[in-house]
């Protein structure tokens, strides 16, 4: 599984990335990779118009908000 954080690297994007890392650690899933996509053209390819956004296995799960670690963990099942 691959989690992608879409965003410019702003504080909200960094918080979302931290929440994703926390969720992966709490779920005990070292097999999950986390990537950060900064390039606006790649972000637009996902149809995302507001960041931060989170993508799991190429499916946009949330955009324009910061899901907490518990919500992200629920997607990892």
Q: Is 57 a catalytic residue?
A: no
> Using CA atoms, how far apart are residues 45 and 27, in angstroms rounded to an integer?
29
Catalytic, out of 5, 6, 13, 53: 13
What is the rounded distance in angstroms from the CA atom of residue 26 to the CA atom of residue 7? 24
8: phi then psi, degrees, rounded to nearest 5: -75, -10
**Selected catalytic residue, list 1, 2, 10, 44:** 10
Q: Is 33 a catalytic residue?
A: no
What positions carry a catalytic annotation?
A: 10, 13
């Amino acid at each position: 599984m691959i989690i992608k954080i879409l965003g410019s690297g702003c504080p909200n994007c960094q918080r979302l990335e931290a929440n994703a890392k926390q969720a992966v650690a709490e779920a005990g899933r070292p097999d999950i990779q986390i990537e950060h996509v900064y390039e606006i053209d790649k972000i637009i390819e996902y149809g995302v118009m507001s960041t931060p956004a989170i993508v799991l296995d190429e499916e946009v799960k949330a955009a324009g908000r910061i899901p907490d670690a518990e919500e992200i963990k629920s997607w990892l099942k």
